Amino acid sequence: MRISVFVAVFNFSGVPLAQLRLANALVNRGFKVDLVVLKSYVELDKLVDPSIKVYLLDKVRAINSITSIANYIIKQKPTIVFSAEDHLNCVLLIALLISFSNAQVSCSARVPALDKQAYFGRIFSKGWFLKNIMRLVMHRANCLTCVSKDMVIQYKRIFPSHSHTYAYNIIVTEQRIKNSYAPISHPWFLSTDIPVVISVGRLDPEKGFEDLIRAFALVIKDVRSRLFIVGDGKQKDYLLNLISKLGLNDSIQLHGSDPNPLKFMRRSNVFALASYSEGMPNVLVESMMCGCTPVSTDCPTGPRELLDGGKYGYLVPVGDPLNLASGIIQALNSPMPIDLLTQRVDAFTEDSVLRRQFSLLGYKTMPYDL
């Protein structure tokens, strides 16, 4: 059985890394796996398991890759295809139709539909075409999935005649747990005297880092602690100036990007997510995997579902630094039991996710169990 895992743009971000984890899980269970990438900004040979065959189509835009994808499908004849992100899903379905392939295909949506400008453009805009073409080709997908149950509700409002369902990403693996124990030299993590609050993500407005910094100015008035932010982005200079303006240079550090943020999560006390919108935030699952008590905005979609309304962490209103500060203080004073967090993230392990994916494709038993 040959399985193809498709990625639109490969970089060190959530969607391509989740697809790579899916490919790794499949090849580790004995499948022949192809990783088909439209465009890559990293050296895939150094990143991908040598057992996975990489096909780099070198196409910047998904719409320009239809012929290349169809040619790949005709030549390689995959049995199952896994794809992620709406633009890629759309062109892949077109390619499957024109190539007369009988491959089973699972298309995953990763961004909340109601937050996507793509689906709300004016008539004859790119968004209008995407929505209407998807309506025409969605029947070719064997299953249409979203990474959270709340996202399913959104997609059903836009595509009411199609049966979307949920399927989580693989986030928890033995190797990633091992990576979280990697050595660390940063002085903030060499002692447990001062608790550390951590956040990880792009330094963009929708991630709410300004709210988090303003909230932390209130936190340290109540609890001696530090805030460690891993990530880079267009707001970096603005956030550095804000930290300086609030006199927080000794309490908050922008660390920049890091290939292994898990090692910092493992040694932090609280993980704070201040986003205005998510799909299913991988970083929140990662933090729980590392035993870090989560505090998250109750944004659409994902956090409320993941934290089960507050059973597994602290939920606070979106765009509210005062309540965010209160949630962080609560988490510092009353952390979640590690065994409770471990129990919740079991749904994001390789076996749990693969069993869900194959069952949606109609397999009553898993192919690698036969």
Residue partners of 73: CB distance under 8 A and separation at least 6: 4, 81, 95, 96, 99, 101, 103
Residue 107 has what pLDDT? 97
What's the one-letter identity of residue 119? Y
Residue 132 has what pLDDT? 86
Kindly state whether residues 184 and 154 are assigned to the same domain. no
- Cα separations (Å) of 118 from 15, 112, 123, 209, 262? 18, 11, 12, 25, 33
Kindly state whether residues 342 and 353 are assigned to the same domain. no
Kindly state whether residues 12 and 138 are assigned to the same domain. yes
Residue 62 has what pLDDT? 86
Kindly state whether residues 191 and 163 are assigned to the same domain. no
Kindly state whether residues 24 and 160 are assigned to the same domain. yes
Kindly state whether residues 163 and 47 are assigned to the same domain. yes
Residue 286 has what pLDDT? 97
Kindly state whether residues 187 and 55 are assigned to the same domain. no
In the chain, pLDDT over 70 holds for what percent of residues?
96
Pairing between strand 104-109 and 80-84? parallel
Kindly state whether residues 132 and 190 are assigned to the same domain. no
Whether residue 261 is predicted with pLDDT greater than 90 in this model: the reply is yes
- Please state, as a whole number, how many other Cβ atoms lie within 10 Å of the Cβ of residue 91: 27
Query: Contact, 134 vs 318, CB < 8 A?
Result: no
Tokens 């920049």 found at: 256
Q: How many domains does the chain have?
A: 2
- pLDDT tens readout for residues 140-183: 999 999 999 999 998 888 888 888 999 999 999 999 999 999 99
Residue 129 has what pLDDT? 80
Kindly state whether residues 323 and 360 are assigned to the same domain. no
Whether residue 118 is predicted with pLDDT greater than 90 in this model: the reply is no
- pLDDT tens readout for residues 174-208: 999 999 999 999 999 998 899 999 999 999 999 99
Beta bridge partners of 366: none
Lowest-confidence pick of 10-24, 244-258, 328-342? 10-24
- pLDDT tens readout for residues 77-97: 999 999 999 999 999 999 999
Lowest-confidence pick of 10-19, 281-290, 336-345? 10-19
Q: What 3-state class would DSSP assign to 117? A: helix
- Mean pLDDT throughout 27-37? 95
Whether residue 122 is predicted with pLDDT greater than 70 in this model: the reply is no
Beta bridge partners of 330: none
Query: Contact, 314 vs 295, CB < 8 A?
Result: yes
Residue 123 belongs to what domain range?
A: 2-170+349-369
In which band, very low, low, confident or very high, does the pLDDT at 46 lie, cut at 50, 70 and 90? confident
Please give the mean pLDDT across all residues of the chain. 93
Whether residue 108 is predicted with pLDDT greater than 90 in this model: the reply is yes
Kindly state whether residues 97 and 182 are assigned to the same domain. no
| CATH number of the CATH domain containing 141 | 3.40.50.2000
What is the rounded distance in angstroms from the CA atom of residue 197 to the CA atom of residue 180? 16
Residue 75 has what pLDDT? 97
Alpha helices in the chain (DSSP H): 14-28, 44-47, 66-76, 86-98, 126-137, 149-158, 174-179, 209-222, 236-245, 262-266, 282-289, 303-307, 321-333, 338-344, 350-360
Residue 370 has what pLDDT? 38
**Six token digits for residue 166:** 């949920």
Pairing between strand 196-200 and 164-166? unpaired
What b-and-e string marks burial along 46-55, b requiring 16 or more CB atoms within 10 Å of the CB? eebeeebebb
Whether residue 14 is predicted with pLDDT greater than 90 in this model: the reply is no
Kindly state whether residues 122 and 108 are assigned to the same domain. yes
Kindly state whether residues 113 and 186 are assigned to the same domain. no
Residue 157 has what pLDDT? 86
Residue 119 has what pLDDT? 67
Q: What 3-state class would DSSP assign to 3? A: strand
